[in-house]
Structure 1
Amino acid sequence: MTQWLPVPPEELFPFFSDAHNLERITPDLLRFEVLTPKPIDMREGTLIDYRLKVRGVPLRWRTRIEQWDPPRQFVDTQIKGPYQLWHHTHRFEPKDGGTTCTDIVRYRPPGGPLMGLINKLFVQRDVEMIFRHRAEVLEDLFGAQ
């Protein structure tokens, strides 16, 4: 997913690098909560714990910051959580006086031999809905045109 926001990367990156802002940009139905206390010292190796509900099922999620390169990008991966694999690159590139934000997500849902069906029926739709919601909230917060 790619989105342009009318804010330079140096101003936008701090918003994304505060893990507690995930609560603001995640759909309410997930009841997403950051469990790691503030302030979180973001850098390579930082671990962040979350609690959420996926389709009503309570889950815990732990991510690790694998790469930290402010204000250009950072990468988080799931250590424990609902996916077999979650690798999320957040990229911030200056463009036209603002920032092009690009999310590159590689994931593998649970499910063994049924993984493809589970992904098609549930997981892919949920992930797309989460990022659509996030884009709408970011437009409201940063005044995308």
Structure 2
Amino acid sequence: MKMYLLNQEQLLPLSPEEAWKFFVHPGNLPRITPPNLGFKITGELPEQMHAGMIVSYTVTPFLGFAVEWVTEITQMREPYFFVDEQRFGPYRMWHHQHIFRETPQGTLMTDLVHYVLPFGLLGRVAAPLVARRVRGIFEYRRGALARELGVPSS
């Protein structure tokens, strides 16, 4: 079993509390997800995220094939970090840490995503394609945050 890692940082010229206000609302997730992913929330959402919260949605990662994805917010420490983990979905394992660290320039937001692909050898063969797709999702998010929050995208 091979584990893959995406590590991305983005400087937000906001305080951790201001950045947190955007990310704590699960309804904002579709606003920063690429439209071509076919992301649709299928369950009810509370006003604010909390540890233990389950989020269910569908995604269309490849070739128009919709997949159910269920994640749980497993850890949360306002306004510094939260973790979402896949409970059911397209990966064998998905663990996404969202970390917000105050700097003199604002908040350094770090995404650490550890994931394992299903299907054994076939998953390993597809790994470069999946890694490119995952990076693309987070690159889109970088630009979306620039639009949504009025912050630089680079």
Shorter-chain TM-score category?
over 0.9
The amino acid of 1:102's aligned partner reads T
Deviations 1:16-52 (A, max 9, x none): 1212211000100011111222325522211110111
Residue of structure 1 equivalent to 2:149: 142
Identity of aligned residues (%): 38
Contact 1:5 1:143 in 2 (8 A): no
Residue of structure 2 equivalent to 1:100: 108
TM-aligned CA deviation for residue 142 of structure 1: 2.0
List runs of 5+ in structure 1 lacking aligned partners: none
TM-score, reference length from structure 1 = 0.93
The amino acid of 1:77's aligned partner reads E
**Aligned-CA RMSD value:** 1.3
Residue of structure 1 equivalent to 2:97: 89
Find the residue that maps to 1:10 and give its secondary structure.
Answer: helix
The one of 74, 88, 96 aligned to 1:80: 88
The amino acid of 1:107's aligned partner reads Y
Write the distance in 1 (CA, Å) between the matches of 2:51 and 2:32. Answer: 23
Residue of structure 2 equivalent to 1:45: 52
Contact 2:16 2:107 in 1 (8 A): yes
The amino acid of 1:92's aligned partner reads F
Residue of structure 1 equivalent to 2:3: none
Q: Do residues 129 (structure 1) and 111 (structure 2) align?
A: no
TM-aligned CA deviation for residue 97 of structure 1: 4.3
Write the distance in 1 (CA, Å) between the matches of 2:21 and 2:119. Answer: 36
The amino acid of 2:123's aligned partner reads M
How many residues align? The count is: 144
Q: Do residues 34 (structure 1) and 41 (structure 2) align?
A: yes
List runs of 5+ in structure 2 lacking aligned partners: 1-7
Find the residue that maps to 1:43 and give its secondary structure.
Answer: coil
The amino acid of 2:142's aligned partner reads A
